Amino acid sequence: MLYYKTYHKSDEAEWVVFVHGAGGSSSIWFKQLKAYKEEFNVLMVDLRGHGKSKGMLQQYYENEYSFKMASQDIIDVIDDAGIEKAHFVGVSLGTIIIRTIGEMQPERVRSMVMCGAIMRLNIRSRFLVSLGHLFKKVVPFMWLYKLFAWIILPKKRHSESRNLFIREAKKLYKKEFMKWFNMTHEVNPLLKYFREKELEIPTLYVMGSEDYLFLPPIKKIVDDHKKSVLEVVKKCGHVVNVEQPETFNEVSLNFLKSDGLPSNC
């Protein structure tokens, strides 16, 4: 079982489950916790080998990872916590996990908030991934991670979120990092399927205007998917919840409290 922590507001309140990205931990949501606890019951979880789930790593050494496996981990957590249905909030790679949960058990997902969503890899992204696979056995994994962090979050005002992810990634074992990195082999076919098939689940995408790698395909998805809406936060990069937390909290909470209707922010 992954490490998780719950914050219980009341039996009547709905649940929100937060899912971080690769190389991070549930600490990525520290600027959301106070605002969300006032409105919802909250569950924070650390993915395999990340944060306080790092201690359970030994049992996974012989297995390759997949997005379905990572998603089942989260389902096991909400089962253990006795949560029948929840809103899910994810960032970066965590958005792929949330979308996979929506495929596996759509009846468990009230809505999805996708921050810095990854729904397509462009030519530059695919080149970087290919480069990473080419050099992963000879280059220290933190060099690769830092390179990706600088390319995804290049501006000075992205430094807080960039440094946060690098700091958390340093806590990973090399073997663990490589297992998550190897999941990029299944990304493109999976994302193509996600783009073509819309779920009947209200979805909010919260993207930074400077998220150059991932914003364009999200605009296309929102144009094609009736249940999806997009909020673009100006002067902001990939990790909106860290760079502009007040805006992210207002926009996302308005969406959740309005049963998936667009916010007026």
CA distances from 103 to 17, 157, 218 (A): 16, 35, 18
**Who's near 48: CB < 8 A, 6+ residues apart?**
2, 56, 57, 60, 65, 70, 73, 176
Convert the pLDDT of each residue in 175-234 to its tens digit.
666 666 666 666 766 777 778 888 999 999 999 999 988 898 899 999 999 999 999 999
How high is the pLDDT of residue 56?
62
Q: What is the pLDDT of residue 50?
A: 86
> If you average pLDDT over every residue of the chain, what do you get?
84
Secondary-structure percent of the chain, ordered helix, strand, coil, rounded to 5: 50, 15, 35
Q: Report yes or no: 125 and 213 within 8 Å, Cβ to Cβ.
A: yes
pLDDT number for residue 264: 42
pTM (predicted TM-score) = 0.84
Residue ranges in the chain modelled with pLDDT below 50 = 263-265
Rounded Cα gap, residues 85 and 238, in angstroms: 28
Residue 265: its pLDDT value, please?
38
- pLDDT score recorded for residue 49: 83
Q: What is the pLDDT of residue 198?
A: 87
187 within 8 A of 133, measured Cβ to Cβ = no
For position 162, what pLDDT does the model report? Answer: 73
What pLDDT score does 77 carry?
98
Token digits for 244? 């502009």
H or E stretch including 88?
strand 86-91
